[in-house]
A and B are shown apart, each in its own frame.
Chain A
């Protein structure tokens, strides 16, 4: 079975940094993904980690520790357009299993 946990909601101020944690217990592991989803839209890919460590992509970074079953997504220099849901997903062979998502609200 798959168990993927992430906080339900987070609020931060424009220009600040927010870290979204994700813990997982899954029957298999072939990589961890982060997706962004704006209200009423489809999820879009943000990052992928398969090895331990930090992956940086502009204002967004993602970290993975396989031994701890833990990942985080770091959003820097927050902008209003970053207000969205962020989905953690674990790949197991052919499919992705998703956490319930973290809604981030950026305030001016």
Chain B
């Protein structure tokens, strides 16, 4: 158990509304990631963070923003949700301890439906 909690786990919203997904970790690891998973595309990186207030874009960052004001929380925001953002969103952490291979540990996922 890597101590990762995602919330909400399920959300249905309407096009044009803002949505924020939260990823919380209990072990104070430096690296945190947001991926989305869609049939036929696998997991695609949206944004990642390598420390408090240090974030960078992934391959599918358009329409998403992130914030990390404290080590334990990494927030993903859809400013104005669109139907193309209907997906399952996974948060992941990298422990970065001695002998770290770069392995990611995933949260349980947040299923977002945009109507």
User: Hey, which bits of chain A sit against chain B, CB under 8 A?
Assistant: 2, 30-31, 33, 41-45, 48, 50, 87, 89, 91, 94-101
Task: Establish whether residues B106 and A101, one from each chain, have CB atoms under 8 Å apart when the complex forms.
Answer: no
Complex Cα spacing A45 to B95, Å: 13
Distance in angstroms from B38 CB to nearest chain A CB is 9
Contacts of B108 in A (CB 8 A): 41-42
Task: Establish whether residues B33 and A98, one from each chain, have CB atoms under 8 Å apart when the complex forms.
Answer: no
Contacts of A101 in B (CB 8 A): 42
Contact of A96 among B104, B107, B109 (CB under 8 A): B104
Task: Establish whether residues A42 and B44, one from each chain, have CB atoms under 8 Å apart when the complex forms.
Answer: no
Contacts of A33 in B (CB 8 A): 101-103
The reply to whether the CB of B18 lies closer than 8 angstroms to some CB of chain A is: no
Complex Cα spacing A33 to B42, Å: 14
Residue of A nearest to B56 (CB): A94
Complex Cα spacing A30 to B40, Å: 25
Given A42-B108, A94-B50, A95-B58; A31-B44 close (CB under 8 Å): no
Contact of B101 among A44, A48, A97 (CB under 8 A): A48
Given A42-B108, A94-B48; A99-B42 close (CB under 8 Å): yes
Instruction: Pick 8 A–B contacts, CB within 8 A, sort by A.
Output: A31-B102, A43-B43, A43-B90, A44-B106, A48-B103, A95-B33, A96-B104, A99-B42
Distance in angstroms from A47 CB to nearest chain B CB is 10
